[in-house]
Structure 1
Amino acid sequence: MTLDDLRVFTAACRAGSLSAAARDLSCTQSAVSQHVKRLERELGLSLLERHTRGVVPTPAGRMLNAAVTEGLGCIDHALRRIEEVARAEGGSVRVTTGATTVRHFMAAAVVDFRRRFPRASLEFQTETSSRGCFDALAAGGVDLAWITLRPATHAIEQHPVVEIPWSLAVSATDPLAAKASLEPADLQDARLIGLPQNSTSRLQLSAWLAESGVRPVFDTSVTDWDTAILLAELGLGHAVVPALPAWSGPGHPDLRLIPIPALPALTAGWAVRHWDDLSPLALAFAELVAHRCGAQTVLP
C-alpha cells in the first residue's frame, strides 16, 4: 500500500468514476484501476462497487475514504506550512468560495492583505456550492473556504462572520417596488429566480418559507446571486436574495431591494479543517475579511 494508491482511491471516490479520476489525475483508467485493485488485494475487501454509470464506495470503502481524506489533507497542509516557514512571509493562502464572493466580501481585505504581505500570494479556487468547498477543504487543497454556513460536520470547523438579511429584488418599475417591507406570505405562489436546488442558501430559504406555509415557484435557475439580481433589475422576474451592500446605491438605479424581516438572516463565514492549524498568513487574511465585513463576534 502506497500513498499513491490512497490518493488515487480517494480521487475515484470523489469523481464517482475511474475514467473521471483518470482525467483529474492525468493518467490512464487502467492505472487508476490497478491502484484500487492493489488496495483491495491487501485489505481483502472490495472498496468500490462498479456500476454502468461509475463507481461508489462500499461500506469498507467509505471508512477508508474518510480516513484517507483526513490523513492526506493533514499531510498536505503540513507540507505547505513547512514551505511557508522556509519562505518566511512569501507563502500563499488558498481560498475556495463562490464565483462572486470575492467582490462582495473580500475586495477590501485583498487590498489590505497585499499591502501587509507584499511577498505573499492569494489563490482563489471557485466552487459552485458549499459542498464543493467542503470537499476541497477535506482534500487539503485549500486553507479557507467562504461559505453559507450549514449544519456542522465533525471534520470541518465553521466560524460565522456576517449575517445578511433577506430581501426581494425587483425592478424599480415593478408594482412591489413601492412597498417598505414584505411578509413571507406575500411570496405565496410567486414565481421566483433562484439558485440551484442543491445550494445551501436555496435549501435554507426553501425550508424557512415552508415553515411559514409558503411554497413559491422557482421557475428560473441561475448559478449565482449577481445573475439573479441582473435579471430582476431588467424586469425579468423577482428574486429573494441576501441584501448585499453592493446592490444598493447609484450602481443599480433600476433595482429595488424590499426587506423581508420575518425570514431568518443568512449566515456566511469561514470553514476550515482546524482553526488552530491555520498558517499565520491564512489567519491574517481570515481576520482581515472579518474586520472588513464589520463582524461583531467572529473569530476565536
Structure 2
Amino acid sequence: MTLDDLRVFAAVCRAGSLSGAARELGCTQSAVSQHVKRLERELGLSLLERHTRGVVPTSAGQLLHAGVAEGLGSIDHALRRLGEAARAESGSVRVTTGATTVRHFMAAAVVDFRRRFPRASLEFQTETSSRGCFDALAAGGVDLAWITLGPTDRAVEQRPVVEVPWALAVSVTNPLSARDRVEPADLQDVRLIGLPQNSTSRLQLVARLAEADVRPVFDTSVVDWDTAILLSELGLGVAVVPTLPAWTGPGHPDLRLIPLPALPPLSMGWAVRSWDALSPLARAFTETVADHCARQTADG
C-alpha cells in the first residue's frame, strides 16, 4: 500500500468513476484500477461497488475514504507549509467562508494584509454553510474558515473574533420601524425572511427564540444576509439579522435596524484544523482581521 494508492482511491471516490479519476490525475483508467485492486488485495476487502454509471464506495470503502481524506489533508498541509517556509513571505493564504463575509468583516483587513505582504496571495473559496467550510478544512483545501461559531462534532479548533448583536430589519414604511427596540415576544406572529434551515446562524436564532417560548415562522428563504436586507428594505418582509455597519447610514435610507437586546449576540470567528500548524502568513491574516474587527466594533 502506497501513498499514491491512497491518493488514487480518494480521487475515485470524489469522481464517482475510474475514468473520471483517470482524467483528474492525468493517467490511464487501467492504472487507476491497478491502484484500487492493490488496496483491496492488501486489505482483503472490497472497497468499491461497480455500477453501470460508475462506482460507489462500500462500507469499508467509506471508512477508508474518510480516513484518507483526513490524512491526505494533513500531509498536503504539511508539505505546503514546508514550501512556504522555503519561500518566506511569498506563500498563500486560503480562506473559505460565506459569500458576503469579505465585504462585512475583511475588506479593510485584506487591503492592510496585501500592503504588508505584497508577495503573498489570498485565495477565497465560497461555501454556503459551516458544514461546507469544515469539509474544505478536513480535505486540506483551505487554511482558514470564517464561520458562525457553535457546537460541532468536527475535529477543528474555533476561535471567536467578534460578537454581533441581533436586530430586526424592516422597511421605514413598516409600523414596527417606529420602535426603538423589539422583544422576542413581538416576533410571535411575524413571518420572517431567513437563511436556509441548516445554517448555523438560523439554528442559533431559532434556539434563542425558543428559550423565550417563541416559535418563528419563516416564509421566505435566502442564501445570505445581504439578500434578506434587500428584501426587508423593499418592504417585502422582515428579517432578524446581525447588526452590521454596512447596513447603516445613507446607503440604506429606507431600512431600519431595530435592536433585539434580549437575544445573546452572534459569535463569529475562525475555525482551523490546528492553530499550532498554521503558517506564519495565515496567522498574520487572522490577526489582521481580528484587529480590524476590533476597530470596527469600537467605532460602531
TM-score (norm 1): 0.87
Q: State the 1:23 CA deviation.
A: 7.6
Any idea what the Cα deviations from partners look like across 1:255-282, whole Å, max 9, x if unmatched? 1111111212111100111101111110
Instruction: Give the number of equivalent residue pairs.
Output: 292
State how 1:231-250 maps to structure 2 within 5 Å.
231-250=231-250
Q: Distance in 2 between matches of 1:255 and 1:208?
A: 24
CA separation of 1:150 and 1:19: change in aligned 2, threshold 3 A? farther
1:93-132 equivalences in 2 (<5 Å)? 93-132=93-132
Q: Distance in 1 between matches of 2:54 and 2:170?
A: 42
Which aligned segments of 4 or more residues in structure 1 are displaced greater than 6 angstroms? 27-33, 49-54
Q: CA deviation at 1:20?
A: 11
Q: CA deviation at 1:218?
A: 1.1
Q: CA RMSD in A?
A: 2.8
Question: Distance between the aligned counterparts of 1:69 and 1:294, measured in 2?
Answer: 36
Native 8 Å contact 1:167 1:241 kept in 2: yes
Q: Partner of 1:258 in structure 2? A: 258
2:257 aligned counterpart, secondary structure: strand
Amino acid at match of 2:92: S
Is the CA contact (8 Å cut-off) linking 2:22 and 2:28 kept in structure 1? no
User: Structure 1 residues 32 and 235, CA, compared in 2 at 3 Å: closer, same or farther?
Assistant: farther
Q: How do residues 72-87 of structure 1 correspond to structure 2 at under 5 angstroms?
A: 72-87=72-87
* Corresponding residue of 2:221: 221
Counterpart residue identity of residue 114, structure 1? R
Q: 1:154 to 1:131 in 2, by over 3 A?
A: closer
Which structure's CA Rg is the greater one?
Answer: 2
The question of whether the paired residues in 2 share the 8 Å contact of 1:193 and 1:238 is answered with yes
1:22 maps to 20
CA–CA distance in 1 between the matches of 2:8 and 2:265? Answer: 41
Change (3 A) 1:29 1:96: farther
Distance 2:222 2:19 in 1: 28
**SS of residue paired to 2:294:** coil
Q: Deviation string for 1:129-186 (max 9, x for gaps)?
A: 1111111111111111101112144621100111111111110111000111111111
**Displacement of 1:2 after TM fit?**
3.3
Cα distance change of structure 1 residues 5 and 185 upon mapping to structure 2, 3 Å threshold? farther
Give the aligned residue type for 2:274: H
Q: 1:54 to 1:292 in 2, by over 3 A?
A: farther
Q: What SS is found at the alignment partner of 1:219? A: strand
Structure 1 residues 209 and 278, CA gap change in structure 2 (3 angstroms) = same
CA distance in 1, matches of 2:177, 2:163: 24
Q: Which residue is 1:298 aligned to?
A: none
Task: Identify the residue that residue 171 of structure 2 maps to in structure 1.
Answer: 171
Q: Cα distance, 1:5 vs. partner?
A: 3.5
Contact 1:152–1:158 (Cα < 8 Å) also in 2: no
**Once the 2 structures are TM-superposed, how far is the Cα of residue 38 of structure 1 from its aligned partner?**
4.2
1:192-227 residue CA offsets vs partner (Å, 9 max, x unmatched):
111111111111112222222211221111111101
* Alignment deviations for residues 31-56 of structure 1 (CA, whole Å, 9 cap, x no partner): 79835554333212344578999846
Residues 22-76 of structure 1, C-alpha deviations (whole Å, 9 max, x = no match): 3897369967983555433321234457899984662x44543343222211111
Q: SS of the counterpart of 1:182?
A: coil
Unaligned runs of 5+ in 1: 296-300
Q: CA deviation at 1:242?
A: 0.6
SS at match of 2:207: helix
2:16–2:54: 8 Å Cα contact kept in structure 1?
no
* Corresponding residue number in structure 1 for 2:273: 273
Q: Does the 8 Å contact 1:21/1:32 carry over to 2? A: no
Shift in alpha-carbon separation, 1:50–1:291, aligned structure 2, 3 A: farther
Q: Secondary structure at the match of 1:26?
A: helix
Structure-2 change in CA distance of 1:216 and 1:36 (3 Å): farther
